[in-house]
C-alpha cells in the first residue's frame, strides 16, 4: 500500500496498482514535541550566530578601550560605541534566549518556557541599555535633567517598539493564551488565527498551516483573543478497490477505534473512479492528545481493505 499526502507524494512502493490513501490529519493545536523541535532548530541557528556576536563585542571593547590611541578622539567614539552596543545587545539577548529555549522546555512546559525566555531577553536588553549609557559617559544628573526631553523624543521615535515591549509584559502577566494554543485574534476589521509558537519582545509568532503569522504585541493586546482548544480531528480520504462496501469500512473502523470520540466516526462514499472508489472518514477525539492514536487506528482499519500486494506499512 502506498500512502500519499495531500499533494499526492507517496512514501511506499507496491507491486501492481497500490491503494493510495491521501491523509489529512488536521491538528487544531500544535503538540509540545513539535514546538520543542522548532525551538531546537532556532537554538541551532542562535548558537551559530552567538560566536560572531561575541567576537564583534570583543572588537567593540578593544576599540573603546584604545579609542584615544586609535582615533585620537573620545566623545564621538563613546557615543558610537553606545549605539553599536545597543544593537549588538539586542541581537545577543534574542539569540541567548533562543539558544537556552531547548533546555528550558526540557525542564518546563512550553508555556512557562516561553515566559522565561521573554524575561531573559528583556533582562539582557535592559543590561545592554544601562551599559551603553554608562559607556556614553552620561552621568546620572545629566540623565535626570534631560529625562523629560529624552522621553518625548524617544517616545515619538520608538513608540511602536516601546509599546510592543510593554504590551508583551502585560500579555505575559495576564496570560490570555499560552504557547501551543490555537488563538483567533479579532478586531479592527481583521480576523487572524493560528497556533502560538513563541512570544517575543515585539511579536506573537503563530503558525497557520505552512504560513508564519507575526502579530505585534500591542495589536494582540488591543484585539480580542479567543483560544480555540479544539480536539485534533482526523479527516481522511481513502482510495480503495471497487467493490469495497462502505458499511464494512464503517464496521471495521468502529471495531478498531479504542479512543473516546465526540461522535460516532463517519464514513461516506465520496467518489467513483473506474475500478476504484473514494471514501471519506471523519472522527474527532474527546481529548486532543489522542489525535495521533486515533489517526493510527483509523488508518489501520482502512488499510485492511487495501490490495494484498501493497508493500508499505501504514503510518498516520
Least confident range of 9-13, 223-227, 261-265, 297-301: 9-13
Residue 265: CATH number of its domain: 3.30.70.380
What integer pLDDT is reported at residue 36 of this predicted model?
60
* Structural domain containing residue 192: 182-227
| Nearest one of 296, 295, 272 to 282, comparing CA atoms | 295
What integer pLDDT is reported at residue 6 of this predicted model?
35
The answer to whether residue 38 scores a pLDDT higher than 60 is yes
Taking the C-alpha atoms of residue 117 and residue 198, their distance in angstroms, rounded to an integer, is 9
Whether 218 and 243 map to the same domain: the answer is no
Whether 199 and 283 map to the same domain: the answer is no
Whether 70 and 132 map to the same domain: the answer is yes
φ and ψ at residue 310, rounded to 5 degrees:
-70, 140
Whether 103 and 133 map to the same domain: the answer is yes
Least confident range of 69-73, 153-157, 207-211, 243-247: 153-157
Domain for residue 247, yes or no? yes
Domain for residue 7, yes or no? no
pLDDT confidence bin for 127, thresholds 50/70/90: confident
Domain for residue 144, yes or no? no
What integer pLDDT is reported at residue 204 of this predicted model?
86
Whether 69 and 103 map to the same domain: the answer is yes
Domain for residue 79, yes or no? yes
Taking the C-alpha atoms of residue 269 and residue 48, their distance in angstroms, rounded to an integer, is 52
| Nearest one of 131, 135, 127, 138 to 65, comparing CA atoms | 135
Whether 76 and 115 map to the same domain: the answer is yes
Domain for residue 86, yes or no? yes
Taking the C-alpha atoms of residue 249 and residue 243, their distance in angstroms, rounded to an integer, is 11
Domain for residue 67, yes or no? yes
Asked which of 227, 260, 294 is the last residue of a domain, the reply is: 227
Asked which of 163, 194, 227 is the last residue of a domain, the reply is: 227
Whether 286 and 219 map to the same domain: the answer is no
What integer pLDDT is reported at residue 153 of this predicted model?
61
pLDDT confidence bin for 311, thresholds 50/70/90: very low
The answer to whether residue 193 scores a pLDDT higher than 60 is yes
Whether 266 and 190 map to the same domain: the answer is no
Total domains in the fold of the chain: 3
Whether 132 and 204 map to the same domain: the answer is no
| Nearest one of 128, 196, 203, 193 to 168, comparing CA atoms | 203
Asked which of 172, 192, 227 is the last residue of a domain, the reply is: 227
Whether 213 and 249 map to the same domain: the answer is no
What mean pLDDT do residues 285-311 have?
Answer: 76
Domain for residue 152, yes or no? no
Q: Are 86 and 92 in contact (CB under 8 A)?
A: no
Domain for residue 58, yes or no? yes
What mean pLDDT do residues 104-131 have?
Answer: 75
Ordered alpha helix ranges (H), the chain: 32-65, 67-71, 75-107, 110-135, 140-145, 147-157, 159-174, 217-222, 246-256, 291-303
Whether 36 and 133 map to the same domain: the answer is yes
What integer pLDDT is reported at residue 75 of this predicted model?
83
Whether 122 and 41 map to the same domain: the answer is yes
DSSP three-state, residue 262: coil
Amino acid at each position: 500500500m502506498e500512502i500519499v499526502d495531500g499533494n499526492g507524494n507517496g512514501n511506499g512502493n507496491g507491486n501492481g496498482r497500490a491503494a493510495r490513501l491521501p491523509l489529512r490529519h488536521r491538528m487544531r493545536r500544535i503538540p509540545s514535541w513539535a514546538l520543542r523541535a522548532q525551538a531546537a532548530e532556532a537554538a541551532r541557528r542562535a548558537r551559530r550566530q552567538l560566536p560572531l556576536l561575541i567576537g564583534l563585542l570583543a572588537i567593540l571593547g578593544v576599540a573603546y578601550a584604545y579609542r584615544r590611541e586609535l582615533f585620537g578622539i573620545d566623545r564621538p567614539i563613546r557615543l558610537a560605541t553606545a549605539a553599536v552596543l545597543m544593537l549588538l545587545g539586542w541581537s545577543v539577548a534574542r539569540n541567548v534566549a533562543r539558544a537556552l529555549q531547548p533546555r528550558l522546555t526540557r525542564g518546563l512546559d512550553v508555556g512557562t518556557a516561553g515566559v522565561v525566555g521573554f524575561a531573559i531577553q528583556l533582562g539582557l536588553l535592559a543590561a545592554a541599555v544601562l551599559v551603553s549609557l554608562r559607556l556614553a559617559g552620561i552621568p546620572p544628573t545629566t540623565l535626570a535633567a534631560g529625562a523629560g526631553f529624552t522621553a518625548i523624543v524617544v517616545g515619538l521615535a520608538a513608540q511602536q517598539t516601546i509599546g510592543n515591549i510593554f504590551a508583551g509584559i502585560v500579555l505575559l502577566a495576564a496570560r490570555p493564551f499560552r504557547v501551543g494554543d490555537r488563538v483567533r485574534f479579532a478586531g479592527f476589521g481583521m480576523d487572524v488565527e493560528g497556533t502560538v509558537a513563541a512570544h517575543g519582545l515585539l511579536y506573537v509568532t503563530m503558525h497557520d498551516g505552512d504560513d508564519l503569522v507575526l502579530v505585534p504585541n500591542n495589536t494582540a493586546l488591543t484585539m480580542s483573543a479567543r483560544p480555540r482548544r479544539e480536539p485534533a480531528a482526523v479527516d481522511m480520504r481513502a482510495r480503495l478497490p471497487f467493490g469495497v462496501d462502505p458499511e464494512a469500512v464503517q464496521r471495521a473502523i468502529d471495531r478498531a477505534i479504542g479512543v473516546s470520540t465526540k461522535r460516532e466516526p463517519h464514513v461516506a462514499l465520496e467518489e467513483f473512479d473506474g475500478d476504484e472508489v473514494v471514501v471519506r472518514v471523519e472522527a474527532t477525539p474527546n481529548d486532543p492528545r489522542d489525535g495521533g492514536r486515533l489517526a493510527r487506528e483509523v488508518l489501520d482499519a482502512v488499510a485492511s481493505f487495501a490490495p494484498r500486494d501493497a508493500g508499505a506499512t501504514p503510518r498516520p
